[in-house]
Amino acid sequence: MTSVPDWLQLQRIVLFTGAGLSAESGVPTYRGAGGIWREYRYQDYACQRAFERDPVKVLDFHALRRASVQACAPHAGHAHIRQMQARHAGIRVITQNIDGLLQRAGVAVDAELHGSLWRLRCPVHGVQVDEAAAEFACRRCRHCPPATAPWLRPDITWFEDAVDADLFEHAAMLVDDAELFVGIGTSGAVWPAAGFAERARRRGARMIEINPEDNDASALYDERLRLPASQGLPALFPLDRP
């Protein structure tokens, strides 16, 4: 079985996580069997046009997603990443997930590429954290005059949105420095995030994948663990080293 017994001696390790990591906690994926976008049309719930057309419908949908995520708990894979960071200051986490499970597990996340279910955005006052409950604490900006307060938009990169260029550049710099790049539960199908694995490979990083099944990006990895993250991470990164 693939393992990295000397991982504590490496300077920089990037863990690149996708929906498969959260699926083990019960969070629905997006494109696979049972995925959200097989049941719902993004054009109705997850794009700026839908929000402008019917903000209540879009916010109701995202409140349901928050409730679904809130009912899930971080698993042993999340906990192992937290323990890795406690042992090694060079562990960097880049995630495509918007569910916040990594943070709930105590993991320091360096880049949330696609935003978070637990933040909202006002066009005037910017990002506002809303983590208390599934239902949003406030759907219109409380900092704006009540008569003109705009609807708060989920701080998520929706379909048809441009990505946050500064955030992606920050993530790219982390990838460029990686000696080891580990893809965890990511399909490699969502661009431009999917390009990070190819970038790491070009830069000469050791490439390892943790995923129960092959996917679009598997060919980029030199070593593949066909295991869920809760099993693959402890196998790959043993903690019982001096």
- Give catalytic residues, as residue numbers: 114
Burial 107-139 (b: 16+ CB within 10 A, else e): bebbbbbbbbbbbbbbeeeeebebeeeeebeeb
Q: What does the DSSP 8-state code read for residue 71?
A: T
Q: How far is CA 172 from CA 111, 205, 212, in A?
A: 10, 13, 26
Closest CA to 16 of 157, 211, 160: 211
Q: Across the strands, what pairs with 92?
A: 14
First to last CA, the chain: 21
Q: How far is CA 60 from CA 136, 181, 186, 208, in A?
A: 9, 37, 27, 39
Sequence length of the chain is 242
Q: What does the DSSP 8-state code read for residue 8?
A: G
Structure token pair of residue 29: 């994926």
Calculate the CA 201 to chain-centre distance: 21
